[in-house]
Structure formats: C-alpha cells, structure tokens
Homo-oligomer: A and B are copies of this chain.
Amino acid sequence: MAAPVRQASEKTRRAIVEAGLRGFGSKGYAATSTREIAALAETNVASIAYHFGGKEGLRTACAEHVVATLGAVLAADAPEEEATDPALARARLTGLAERMVHFLLLRPEAHAIAGFMIREMAQPSPALDAIYDGLIARLHPRLCRLWAAATGREAESAGVKLAVFGMIGQIVYFHLGRPVVTRRMGWSGIAAPEARAIAAMIAATLRARLDADRGDADRGDPA
C-alpha cells in the first residue's frame, strides 16, 4: 500500500511482482510457492513478506500491476472523445476487439496476465475487486457506449451489456482454451497467422451481431 519511493528497492519489488504474476498466472496461486517466486525474482523468500506483507499481499500487488499494465494498453489507443457516428463506433469496436485478440494471444506477458485474471474470476479474492474497479468498471461501459452508438440501442440496457460480455468471452476463451483449440485446429501453437484467423472470425461475428442489432433496435426486439 505505502509506496517505498525512497530507494531503488523498486527493482526488487518489480521483480517479485512479475515473478509472482508469472507463477500465479500459469500455475495458480496455491500451486506457486513463495520460494519459487523468490528464486525466479532472484531474491530471498523474506523479501516477499518485507515488501508485500506476505503471499496474499503479493497477490493484490499483482492485481494492481495487472490493472496498471492492461489499463495502459487499452488507454493507449483510446481517443478521449467518444464516437457517435455509427460507422465510426463500429470501426472502433472491431478495432478494439482485434487489438485485444492480438494482445491476448501473441504478447508473451499477456499469458501471465490473462491467466491471473481468469483464476481470480474462478476463485474470487480481494484481488478481484481491484481488477473489477480498475479495469472492468472502466472498459465495459466504454464498450457498451460504442455498441450503443453503432446500433442505436441503449448503452446500459441488459441486452447490450450481455452482448459486450459475449464478445469479451469469445476473446478470452481463445486464450483460455488454447490447448484445446490448437489441437482441434491442427495447429502447433498460436502465432501471428493463427491469431489473425481468430481475430477475423471474431470480427465477422461482431459485424453480424451489430447488423442484426441495428435492424432489431427499430422493431424493439433487443435480445
């Protein structure tokens, strides 16, 4: 909580957080020992208790790190002004989706981040609050507003909110289900070409859904 701005111990902090995130994200919280984290961070086990108060403190620190990192990634290409033109909103939405796919599937650091978030959702802890407040609570309404602008539906309606979750769910699944997807597709892994194919499929689904919503919005049949 209290940031030790004093010294260059920041390097150790970062190393521990990154090591913890990598462990928690790939193997899970319980399955990752503090000694393993310390070894990966090239420091002593006691440093974890010193810097974060304990393993649980490191967990929330990792959550904050995830929020900061992912927030920066998503804010980088976020023009402050909201898109009101349907075509523009639609382009923004598809672009954001595509960017999320590529980040989630190609960036090496994304594996730990996504794994961490997924595991936090599966077994909620105080760390999930930080992720929700710092990330979901900001990103999801923004996507809903874009969806609304692209279709004419109301941004905070249940249908739009669920549709946005559905879009996110598709993206997340291709990270989560990677071993299953690659096996079924006959891929040896997910590199740039595979990520492009997945992004194209998600974009196509998104376009189809937006088109359908635009038609339904007039007839008052928002599913």
Contact = CB atoms under 8 A, between A and B. Distances in A.
A188 B221 CA distance: 25
Interface in A163-215: 163, 165-166, 168-174, 176-181, 183-185, 197-198, 200-205, 207-209, 211-213
Interface residues on A, range: 35 or more
A31 B28 CA distance: 9
Contacts of A181: 165
Interface stretch (A69-77, A102-110, A116-124): A116-124
Contacts of A180: 121, 128, 132, 136
Given A162-B185, A184-B136, A176 B208 contact: no
A158 interface: yes
A177 B121 contact: yes
Contact of A169 (B115, B121, B174, B213): B174
A159 interface: yes
